[in-house]
Structure 1
Amino acid sequence: MPINIPKELPAREALKGEKIFVMDEDRARTQDIRPLNIIILNLMPEKERTELQLLRLLGNTPLQVNISFLRMTTHESKNVSKSHLDTFYLTFADIKNRRFDGMIITGAPIEHLEFEDVNYWNELTNIMEWSKTNVTSCLHICWGAQAALYYHYRIGKYALPKKLFGVFKHRITDPTIELVRGFEDEFNAPHSRYTAVPMEEIEQDPRLILLSSSEEAEAFIIMSKDAKHIMITGHLEYDATTLAEEYTRDLRKGLDTEIPKNYFPDNDADEQPLNTWRSHTHLLFSNWLNYYVYQQTPYQWD
């Protein structure tokens, strides 16, 4: 089934080229089914790239999904045009009286800041508070996961000795949980961050389940027991080349960034990296949409 996105969204042609079924608003209105309404709060600087990565995953399910994009009004995005934001993005004022079946809050390259020092923290906390009653299930990615753990569960973050950068093996703690249904016992996932969340506090919190962790990357998939919040500390949505491009950018900035671990063939940065996490990424997004959004959301909100 398709994802319903605006006709002029730049990601549309790329998705069609990948044979992902997209539908415009006019055709969607003729479908006599109840589509899922998903709102994506895109905090990443390269918004169009993140749009494509997430839409590719949301379009790989048997469900019709209506997508809306949300932006912050208390922060000026420098890597995307104002016309793109004005055309395709809503503000919290536009949606605060609406309800959504699912929400995705992306990462953001601001982990060096304390949460309260982020210029849009108050706006973000208003959105997260609103989501408690207006969204069935929220999926939080990387810094978005850290923000959710801090706001909803008062679990903070801490600085790592050096950047956690590369592709790491993770293990599942409970394969019977529907979010990880179909996962191998051990699977790969990419990370790119300077901070981490304390695994011991997550394990000790009776409201949370640690579903997956890694010896090097530590806590990875965390879910609240009521399935309201799912926190992913890495970047399963990344393309095969995303870490390579980030590595090149870091070097150009003069940063002392080590080559991403377990990523380039033969650890050679001139080799084309392979995507070794794609199948589990699709599984996670499909399982989230099916078990925690579609099967839990009311057919009609009150």
Structure 2
Amino acid sequence: MPINIPKQLPAGELLKKEKIFIMDEDRATEQDIRPLNILILNLMPEKEKTELQLLRLLGNTPLQVNVTFLNTATYVSKNVSQTHLETFYTTFEHVKERKFDGMIITGAPIEHMQFEDVVYWKELEKIMEWTKTNVTSVLHICWGAQAALYHHYGIDKFELPKKCFGIFSHDITDQTVNLARGFNDVFVAPHSRHTAVSIEEIEKHPDLTLLSVSDDAGAFIVISNDEKNIMVTGHLEYDAHTLAEEYGRDVQKGLDIDVPENYFPNDDPTREPMNTWRSHTHLLFSNWLNYYVYQATPYVWD
């Protein structure tokens, strides 16, 4: 089944070229089915790239998905046109009376800041509180995962000696959990962050389960025991070239940055990187949509 997106969204043409089944709003209104309504709070600076990455994954399932893009009212991104935001995004005030089957809260390149120092932190706290009653399941990514662990469960992030940057191997702690269905015992995933969260604090917390962990990258997938919140500290949604682009930007800025680990062939930045995590990315998103959204959400919200 298709993903339903606004007619003129730039990502639409790229998704069509990739043979992702999409449907515009006009055709979707003619479908006599109950679609899933997914809200995406996109905090990433290059919003159009993140839109494409997430829509590609949401559109590769048997479920029809309606997507609403959300941006913060207390901070306006400088890396996307105001026209794009006005055309395809809305703010919390316009959706707070609605119910959503699922929500994605993305990462943001603000890890060095304390949560309370982030311009839109109070707005984000209000949104995360609202999800308790208005969203069936929330998928949090990277900084969004750290923000959720801090707000909902009191687990703070801490600075790493150097950036966790590259492709790392991960284990699954419990293969019977629905989110991990189809996962290999060991799989790889991208990370790009300067901070981490305590494995010990997560394991001790009565409301959380550490589902996936890496010897090199630390805690990876954390799920709340009520299955309301899923926190993923890395970037499974990244394209093959995303880490290369980040590395190139840091080099151009003159930053002291290591080559991403286990990413370029022979650690040579002039060689073409390969996407070695794609299959598990699709598994994660399809499992989330199926078991934690579709199977759990009410057909008619009260």
Q: Same fold (TM over 0.5)?
A: yes
Residue 140 (1) aligns with residue 140 (2) = yes
Q: How many residues align?
A: 302
Shift of residue 131, structure 1, vs aligned partner: 0.4
Q: Which sections of structure 2, spanning at least 5 residues, go unmatched?
A: none
Residue 35 (1) aligns with residue 35 (2) = yes
Shift of residue 152, structure 1, vs aligned partner: 0.2
> How many percent of aligned residue pairs carry the same amino acid?
73
| Residue matched to 2:167 | 167
Matches within 5 A, 1:112-151: 112-151=112-151
SS across alignment from 2:119: coil
Matches within 5 A, 1:81-96: 81-96=81-96
Shift of residue 223, structure 1, vs aligned partner: 0.2
Shift of residue 300, structure 1, vs aligned partner: 0.2
SS across alignment from 2:201: helix
Shift of residue 206, structure 1, vs aligned partner: 1.1
Residue 293 (1) aligns with residue 296 (2) = no
Matches within 5 A, 1:1-302: 1-302=1-302
Q: TM-score, normalised by structure 2?
A: 1.00
SS across alignment from 1:175: coil
Q: TM-score, normalised by structure 1?
A: 1.00
Q: Which sections of structure 1, spanning at least 5 residues, go unmatched?
A: none
The one-letter amino acid of 1:51's match is E
Shift of residue 219, structure 1, vs aligned partner: 0.2
Shift of residue 269, structure 1, vs aligned partner: 0.6
Deviations 1:221-251 (A, max 9, x none): 0000111000000000000000001000000
CA distance in structure 2 between the aligned counterparts of 1:271 and 1:254, rounded to whole angstroms: 21
The one-letter amino acid of 1:8's match is Q
CA distance in structure 1 between the aligned counterparts of 2:180 and 2:223, rounded to whole angstroms: 11
Runs of 4+ in 1 over 3 A off after TM superposition: none
Shift of residue 26, structure 1, vs aligned partner: 1.0
SS across alignment from 2:86: helix
CA distance in structure 1 between the aligned counterparts of 2:40 and 2:278, rounded to whole angstroms: 21
Deviations 1:56-112 (A, max 9, x none): 000000000000000001002100000000000010010000000000000000000
CA distance in structure 2 between the aligned counterparts of 1:275 and 1:135, rounded to whole angstroms: 32
Shift of residue 266, structure 1, vs aligned partner: 1.0
SS across alignment from 1:251: helix
Deviations 1:155-197 (A, max 9, x none): 0000000001000000000001000100000000000000000
